[in-house]
Amino acid sequence: MPTSMSCSIIASLNRVLVNNLPVGSTSATHAYAEAAIKAGAAFINAIPVFIASNPEWAQRFSESGLPVAGDDVMSQVGATVIHKTLVKMAIDRGVRVDETYQLNVGGTQISWTCLRRAG
């Protein structure tokens, strides 16, 4: 039975749902993935909540004939990739790098989640 969320997706005529919620939004991500299935929409997950790589979710999307992709698409062009690229650039130019770290500072849920996990 469609939920109000899936009904909204159907009514909007969207065929692809992109999940770009704040990091840590596990329950909401599961709710949107469920709504996408019920609405017959593909699901692209841009945050690190495992949907596409979770065998149960992947099977549900597959059985519904719907594509699912992602699981942290944001990190592919985010701070970690930039950090690694800058370190590689320094090494390629002859800098000896013994150790590095990256600290994400901001006022968002993403920053709070990262700092809380680190501490």
Mean per-residue pLDDT of the chain? 82
pLDDT of residue 8: 67
Query: Do 54 and 91 reside in the same domain of the chain?
Result: no
Amino acid, single-letter form, for residue 55: P
Locate all alpha helices (DSSP H) within 12-103, ordered by sequence: 26-39, 55-63, 79-92
Give the CATH number, domain containing residue 52.
3.40.50.720
Query: Do 23 and 68 reside in the same domain of the chain?
Result: yes
Query: Do 10 and 64 reside in the same domain of the chain?
Result: yes
pLDDT of residue 96: 95
**What domain range includes position 19?**
4-73
Any bridge partners for residue 101, and if so which? none
The model's confidence at residue 70, banded by pLDDT at 50, 70 and 90, is confident
Query: Do 15 and 52 reside in the same domain of the chain?
Result: yes
Burial code (b: 16+ CB inside 10 Å, e: under 16) for 19-37 equals beeebbbeeebeebbbbbb
pLDDT tens, 1-53? 456 666 666 666 678 988 888 878 899 999 999 999 998 999 999 888 999 99
Query: Do 62 and 22 reside in the same domain of the chain?
Result: yes
Query: Do 48 and 87 reside in the same domain of the chain?
Result: no
Query: Do 99 and 54 reside in the same domain of the chain?
Result: no
Query: Do 69 and 88 reside in the same domain of the chain?
Result: no
Query: Do 52 and 29 reside in the same domain of the chain?
Result: yes
Residue 101 has pLDDT above 90, yes or no: no
Query: Do 69 and 30 reside in the same domain of the chain?
Result: yes
Q: How many domains are there within the chain?
A: 2
Global pTM reads 0.61
Query: Do 18 and 46 reside in the same domain of the chain?
Result: yes
Residues 23 and 48: beta-carbon distance below 8 Å? yes
pLDDT of residue 1: 47
